[in-house]
Structure 1
Amino acid sequence: MNIDGGNKDMMPKLSDEFLLSSYKKAVKLNIDSYFLYLLITEIKRRNLVVNIK
């Protein structure tokens, strides 16, 4: 199943900074693992690095 409908830019309007911030907050709040998967997939696609303290 292709969750993004074939679109390679799953979250094109989301800035890198907001994407990383959203991921950190989702981890802190113990958000659903599938949502985290979507964020991680986009973070990897953009070659970003997450620093969680």
Structure 2
Amino acid sequence: MRLTGVRLLTLVFGRGRAAVGMIAGIVVFFPSLVNMVFHPRYRLAPAHGG
């Protein structure tokens, strides 16, 4: 019973670490993605007289 509990714990912690790494990656990557998507529009908006 205890062994399965430890195994479950390691599984949860392993997934938790993967999730934290994924969230960190998203947090780091998201601003550059937003810049990539929105900056051209912001640059083009004044050109269109906006």
TM-score between the two structures when normalised by the length of structure 1: 0.30
Greater relative CO (CA pairs within 8 A, separation 6+):
1
Where is the helix percentage greater, Structure 1 or Structure 2?
Answer: 2
- Give the alignment's TM-score, normalised by structure 2: 0.32
Greater Rg, structure 1 or structure 2?
2
